Amino acid sequence: MSIDYKKELEKASKTMILVHEPDTLIKMIVRMLVQKVKVSHANILLHNHIADSYIMKVSRGPLGLKVPEGFTRMDNDNALIRIFSEEKATLFSSDNTIVYPKAKKILDILVKNENSDLLRGALYQMEIFDAVACVPCYFQHDLLGILLLGSKKDGTEFEADEMQFFVALASDVGMAIRNAKLFKDLTDELDKRKALFKNITKALAAAIDAKDNYTGGHTDRVREVSQKVSDKLSQKYPDLIDDAFSEDLEIASVLHDIGKIGIPESILNKQGPLSPEEWNTMKEHTVIGEKILESIQELENCVKGVKYHHERYDGTGYPEGLKGAQIPLIAAIIAVADSYDAMVSDRPYRKGLPQEKAMDEIEKLAGKQFHPDVAVAMVELYREGKL
């Protein structure tokens, strides 16, 4: 029976964003490859920051091919590491992977030089692990790990759609490993130092910005505007807006788009309007964000800002169609700051609005899209020259 690789990728991606333990995550991925794709064995070499080397973290397959965890360690000058860390594999394949039979044929016709020696060394390492294919996992341009795949159980060669699946999966794995590590650090240190906690949330926000090409710096701007609006509103709501609320708002505004980690990059970075189906997928980022954060008890109030920042005062928003006072104030503040930044920011398919026109829109939509008091505070800040 043929595999629907697109469906499997979506399923794996949605599962990965909910796994906050790096070791659990990579074990899950390797098990899925062995069971679903029917490879004889699979291994993952993972970068160890402290040792600055790559360690065999997970191995699955017949006992004879199973390598003990931590038994294998490769330094940065290892040929297999270098060919991916220096992105030299692109010289031999368009998708930056190495498939042994194809690479061996290329090596046989190459003129002997530095690159051919590098490929020869990488193929030798693959022979040691009886690997037929190698796929790198990156976060941006940093090599986080390498997926090594044995031969298919049916004896056939890997097809193009299978390699595309491995490359797309590796990309998501790289992002998920990176974020799983950040989440692990976050939960371990949350009770120790609030400063560290805030730095990690900013790192998570940077990960979101890195995935969405068109919103660089968006989260930081939303955080800044949200805090200014909150300070302005504290005069009207002194019982609601205290130090604890301000701390929760800062964290929620930084993490308001954390759920976009689970949205395909093809949708996030589309140069033009989204189709109805794509828009429905995009709207899932609010509940994905809730699921990612809900297990962290200390973020209970922050989660409300993440989940409900696309609700509208007139009840036509999402995900639950909350109306008026049903919308938490923390979410109402983020909503106006988020919309403001979206309006004034340039996109490939449109020019950002001047501040004055954006304020006209916010004023016009007060009581419709935006909480009226929050909208008034925003407009007042602009008129006072504080935005």
Give the per-residue pLDDT at 61: 67
Q: What are the pLDDT digits (tens) for 17-60? A: 676 676 777 778 777 777 777 888 888 888 888 888 998 877 66
What distance lies between CA 40 and its chain's CA centroid? 30
Whether 233 is in a domain gets the answer yes
Q: What are the pLDDT digits (tens) for 155-168? A: 888 888 888 888 88
| CATH number, residue 143 | 3.30.450.40
The verdict on 347 and 228 lying in the same domain is: yes
Query: Are the CB atoms for 90 and 96 separated by under 8 Å?
Result: yes
Q: What is the mean pLDDT of residues 106-127?
A: 90
Give the per-residue pLDDT at 214: 57
The verdict on 135 and 282 lying in the same domain is: no
Of the residues 154, 176, 198, which one is the last residue of a structural domain? 176
The verdict on 201 and 284 lying in the same domain is: yes
Whether 183 is in a domain gets the answer no
Give the per-residue pLDDT at 339: 96
How big is the chain, counted in residues?
387
Q: What is the extent of the structural domain holding 306?
A: 190-383
- Alpha-carbon separation of residue 197 from 4, 290, 293 (angstroms): 40, 18, 14
Give the per-residue pLDDT at 368: 96
pLDDT value at 216 more than 90: no
pLDDT value at 71 more than 80: no
| CATH number, residue 312 | 1.10.3210.10
pLDDT value at 240 more than 80: yes
- In angstroms, the CA 280 to CA 12 distance is 19
Query: Are the CB atoms for 186 and 293 separated by under 8 Å?
Result: no
Strand 133-139 to 98-99 pairing: antiparallel
The verdict on 31 and 126 lying in the same domain is: yes
The verdict on 230 and 368 lying in the same domain is: yes
Q: Among 152-166, 300-314, 318-332, 361-375, where is mean pLDDT lowest?
A: 152-166
Q: What are the pLDDT digits (tens) for 136-152? A: 988 878 898 898 999 98
pLDDT > 70 in the chain, percent: 85
Structure tokens at 61: 């397959």
Instruction: Give the pTM.
Output: 0.55
The verdict on 201 and 168 lying in the same domain is: no
pLDDT value at 63 more than 50: no
Whether 182 is in a domain gets the answer no
Give the per-residue pLDDT at 28: 80
Whether 222 is in a domain gets the answer yes
The verdict on 370 and 222 lying in the same domain is: yes
Of the residues 176, 203, 219, which one is the last residue of a structural domain? 176
Whether 185 is in a domain gets the answer no
Of the residues 122, 141, 176, which one is the last residue of a structural domain? 176
Q: Among 269-283, 319-333, 361-375, where is mean pLDDT lowest?
A: 269-283
Q: What are the pLDDT digits (tens) for 181-210? A: 777 777 776 656 566 566 667 777 777 766
pLDDT value at 374 more than 70: yes
Give the per-residue pLDDT at 183: 77
The verdict on 203 and 145 lying in the same domain is: no
pLDDT band at 294; cut points 50, 70, 90: confident
Provide the domain count of the chain: 2
The verdict on 44 and 115 lying in the same domain is: yes
The verdict on 205 and 161 lying in the same domain is: no
Whether 221 is in a domain gets the answer yes
The verdict on 23 and 161 lying in the same domain is: yes
Whether 298 is in a domain gets the answer yes
The verdict on 198 and 105 lying in the same domain is: no
Whether 184 is in a domain gets the answer no
For residues 272 and 313, the model is more confident at 313
